[in-house]
Amino acid sequence: MRKSSHIIPYFLLCSSLLCFYSARAESFIGVNYGIVADNLPPPEATAKLLQSTSIEKVRLYGTEPGIIKALANTGVGIVIGAANADIPALASDPEFAGNWVGSNVVAHYPASKIIVVTVGNEVMLSTDQNLVSQLLPAMQNVQNALNAASLGGKIKVSTVHAMAVLSQSDPPSSGAFNPKNGDTMKALLEFHKANGSPFMINPYPFFAYQGDSRPETLSFCLFQPNPGRVDSGTGIKYMNMFDAQVDAVHSALKAMGFKDIEIVVAETGWPYKGDSNELGTSMDNAKAYNGNLINHLRSMVGTPLMPGKSVDTYIFALYDENLKPGPGSERAFGLFKPDLSMTYDAGLSKSTQVLHLNRHYKFFFFIHSYILS
């Protein structure tokens, strides 16, 4: 009797865990959809492509109506962006903010599943201090406009930061924001806390490797076997750069009294080719980084300071953008080609997702069978 009394509760526990995992299975995997190119497929073709993958969220840098409409009724979450150039008007004119929300959000929602509005991109690094000071008022006016449209609790408002907003990130426990913009950052974090919106940032182990090209650093960046790196402040051994960078952001938030604000990785990726002076740019390394990152997220192991959950992560990028300026790598981050074929297999097809879920089902039923025996 004692053994059988445990069977039903345990079966229910397993079923609940499986249902939770299935529902959450890929909701943390997103992709950046940039359009600085002249050879991209139509948005409708892209929408079908996304539905054939385990990508469940897309980040746009703007508010392209053709793309937003093409993603309607697909269930794909959409992040839209207000450009840096829009910040002064959004900050100074609530009516402009209301019209912006009306045209770019209300006109498409809920058929198009807009989930976040980002106001500006890497504004805190701008040399224009007026723009920096206008960022929070712009975010507040967009938030107020969403509230007025009864969307304030459904669509979040944020802004995207570069890792350079941290003045220190190594070791991760010492993570700290640059004090130069300390007051502005604190006010932004107060906004996030009050509205339940995420802190969005762009960690790139690829760029960390450019500054430290030792072989062990490459393995550390690519989630490959390596000796690990011990955080002298906590004694925690980190086995990959992604976790170290994300935990540095968490430490910086905690140091300012905002440890519970959600972190979202707005961009991360690895180029499959680049100029001769760009270290580590290869098809093998790009496949290793993105493929191992996706597996790491799917494992739900989390980071040492935030265990047991995976941060929402938007991989850069869906396609190459052949008109982007800068070094060669800037035009070689695409997961897919303009003909919709894979640049390399990073494990994003739905068949891969099913295989991964099957492993979890087998694990739970193995444990269940063991208890029944």
Active site residues: 122, 267
Local structure of residue 336 (DSSP, 8 states): B
Tokens linked to 358: 């099957």
As a whole number of angstroms, the distance between CA 114 and CA 126 comes to: 27
The whole-angstrom distance between residue 146's C-alpha and the CA centroid of its chain comes to 23
For residue 318, the SS3 value is: coil
Beta bridge partners of 268: 315
Cβ partners under 8 Å of residue 4, min gap 6: none
As a whole number of angstroms, the distance between CA 60 and CA 47 comes to: 13
Yes or no: say if 332 and 320 are a contact pair by the CB < 8 Å rule: yes
Output helix, strand, coil percentages for the chain, rounded to the nearest 5.
50, 15, 35
Yes or no: say if 348 and 54 are a contact pair by the CB < 8 Å rule: yes
Q: Among 60, 116, 50, 56, which Cα is nearest to 264's?
A: 116
The long-range contacts involving 303-306, CB below 8 angstroms and separated by at least 24 positions, are 303/243, 303/246, 303/247, 303/250, 304/172, 304/231, 304/234, 304/236, 304/238, 304/243, 304/247, 305/172, 305/173, 305/236, 305/247, 305/250, 305/251, 306/246, 306/247, 306/250, 306/263
For residue 291, the SS3 value is: helix
Pairing label, strands 306-307, 237-238: unpaired
Q: How far is CA 296 from CA 92, 107, 314, in A?
A: 43, 37, 14
Tokens linked to 67: 């793309």
Yes or no: say if 168 and 176 are a contact pair by the CB < 8 Å rule: yes
